[in-house]
Chain A
Amino acid sequence: MIDSLYMPYLMRIEKITCEAPGVKTFMLKFVNEEDQNNFAFKAGQFGEYSVFGEGESTFCIASSPTRKGYIECTFRQSGKVTNALAGCEEGSVIGFRGPYGNIFPLDEWKGKNILFIAGGIALPPMRCVIWNALDTRENFKDITIVYGAKSVNDLVYKNELKEWEIRDDVRLVTTVDPGGETPDWKGEVGFVPSIVEKIAPSAENTVAVVCGPPVMIKFTFPVLAKLGFRDENVFTTLENRMKCGFGKCGHCNVGKVYVCKDGPVFTQAQLKELPDEY
């Protein structure tokens, strides 16, 4: 039998973690072992996750390709499909198509410092590349993570944040928006762009990865420019509406680019060439 591009893998939900209000992480394993053996992906790629009868939804693979045998995804309950996903229990079977899209060029980053800047629910696309970098730690110099959310409650991957905090080969700076702190909050208070400005990481031999809500990205780019980051060294991901994931359905087309094929990872230099339709 020839399968079509649209046939999903069947995946079993092995574990569900509640990350924050309305935000869950699924650990998924392939129902068919053969699918597992043939599956490979790289940091930055995404997939189409589906609840049969409800439809498909697009989000990144949030686990690192260095962790074999499963994939993870983290999503916020917001639309029809993510609400249906949130209603799934451990052991349920869902669909997954992928991996699609381009990658974070970790090979090219060897020997460099990496600065990760994430806001809110945008840590998942970055978590994949963070763990990939940490699992191959010897390839990189300093690794800094700046992560912010509206409130302490909204920070995702709380256990991993603790783990990164303890490790001495990674610098973690967490922040919450003013008013979002709790009495025992030990992190920063302030918006992500101003925290980046405050800690002023060196742009020398450094790549920056920025993922977050549009308003955070908008105000972080100028800060990075001020710190001396060149547009080619600032990476982000676009979140356009997608349906097929492989450059046919037309939804994610912006200028000459199909975000699902040419992205989702773009440098700021590439974004400057694109019409403002994302």
Chain B
Amino acid sequence: MNIERRLVRKDSLEKLFDILRQNKKTVFAPVMKNGKASFKPVGSFSSIAEDYIQTTQSSKEVIFPRVEKFLDYEKNGKEVSIKGFDYQSVTETVLWGVRPCDTIGFGTLNSIFNWDFKDEIFNARLSKTIILSFSCNKSDDYCFCTSVGGNPGSTAGSDILFTKLGADGDYLAEVVTEKGQAIVALASELFEKTESVEKEKFLANVPVKFNQEEIRKKLEKFFKSSQWVEQSLKCLGCGACAFVCPTCACFDIQDDAHGKIGSRMRCWDSCGYSQFTVHTSGHNPRSVQSQRWRQRIMHKFSYMPERLSVYGCTGCGRCSRACPADMNILEHLISIQEVKI
């Protein structure tokens, strides 16, 4: 559908929020705690964080929760009964205040969860989620969305994208999807007709730092490079980068037993962990950290584009900000681009 452009007055945002709540929608929005912004279910507009460049964690957790229970079981002697995923439990959820680099990530996750077998649980959550994103009017040195096909005002993946027109200005609302239109219909008086607006001048300036297509081509011959060890010597091998990433989707499957009853769930995992690939025999195909760092980069910039036709990075910079050892993905990608092969 064509993108509809509307104007939302700055004091109408709160009204829109209240209307969403009155319509019994769960609203996830960024909230500040310990100086970090993260997505939480929010009951009042005033608790939504304003002054942040990026939340520490991506909003993927709303659609791909860190723990997703998919069955309950009950044992009775030798017999077992099982109950599958409760699709009724997935209710309409609004994601408020997402950045364009997160919304693009949902498309990436969608490719992972549906490239072959269809993951109905993921799909149920995605289809019930309404994504109200906000363009970026500021950025920092860790941002590089424009190098990986995004931009601070990209509408990709959003249902409605809001762009703040000036420091104390009103908002341009770009209604991208039918889900977005349904929201407009709930509060049509707040979405005013508007003349064409130049939103670009209100967006953050994020310079292009590398060409991902070039990186992809280079990586095909880069597997045995000594750079992987050089880059990753300081990597501590934690999972912070994967867990804050909007597109990392690796998971583990675990049972949680309580006597005769219990459940089975998937939970986040990371290719950076030493145990990720270890066989029962003790053999570990990726036994050292440089191999695991290589896997992370290769997977995102070589294997995924090849297999899923999407890159595994949205340029949000969260991994670099979160890394306790200052492994900066942008820096490493630039150095890969600069290597002459």
Q: B-contacting residues of A (Cβ < 8 Å)?
A: 1-8, 10, 50, 52-56, 78-79, 82, 89, 91-95, 214, 239-241, 243-244, 246-251, 253-256, 258, 261, 275-278
Contacts and interface: CB of A to CB of B under 8 A. Distances in A.
Contacts of A258: 307
Nearest to B79: A93
10 contacts: A3-B84, A4-B70, A6-B266, A10-B82, A240-B279, A241-B278, A247-B115, A247-B117, A250-B249, A256-B303
Contacts of B303: 253, 255-256
Contacts of B257: 52-54
With most chain B CB atoms within 10 A of its CB, the pick from A56, A92, A253 is A253
A54 B80 contact: no
B78 A78 contact: no
Given A249-B266, A250-B269, A5 B80 contact: no
A256 B119 CA distance: 21
Interface string B231-253: 00000000000000000011111
Contacts of B291: 277
Nearest to B69: A6
Given A241-B277, A244-B253, A248-B119, A7 B112 contact: no
A240 B276 CA distance: 11
Contact of B264 (A6, A89, A214, A253): A6
Given A4-B119, A7-B71, A95-B82, 14 more contacts: A4-B84, A4-B85, A52-B264, A55-B255, A55-B264, A56-B253, A56-B264, A240-B279, A243-B266, A243-B269, A247-B115, A248-B251, A253-B303, A256-B303
A249 B73 CA distance: 22
Contacts of B281: 78
B271 interface: yes
Main secondary structure of the interface of A (DSSP, over half): loop
Nearest to B250: A250
Contacts of A241: 276-279
Nearest to B271: A250
Interface in B89-135: 112-113, 115-121
Given A247-B117, A250-B269, A239 B253 contact: no
Given A2-B87, A52-B75, A53-B262, A249 B285 contact: no
Interface residues of B, number: 51
A176 to B, nearest CB: 20
A174 to B, nearest CB: 23
Nearest to B259: A53
A56 B295 CA distance: 25
Contacts of B283: 214
B299 interface: yes
B164 interface: no
B80 A6 contact: no
7 closest A-B pairs (Cβ-Cβ)? A53-B257, A250-B250, A246-B117, A52-B73, A277-B285, A6-B70, A93-B80
B84 A1 contact: yes
Contact of A79 (B75, B252, B277, B280): B280
B306 A52 contact: no
Given A4-B70, A52-B80, A277-B277, A248 B253 contact: no
B318 interface: no
B115 to A, nearest CB: 7
Contacts of A95: 80, 82
Contact of A248 (B117, B254, B279, B298): B117
A261 B250 CA distance: 15
Contacts of A247: 115-117
Interface string B1-16: 0000000000000000
A235 to B, nearest CB: 20
A4 B121 contact: yes
Contacts of A8: 71, 82
Interface in B165-208: none
A37 to B, nearest CB: 20
B115 A278 contact: no
B82 A7 contact: yes
Contacts of A50: 255, 264
B299 A2 contact: no
A78 B280 CA distance: 7
Interface in B284-303: 285-286, 291, 295, 298-299, 302-303
A20 B281 CA distance: 18
A89 B253 contact: no
Contacts of B116: 246-247, 261
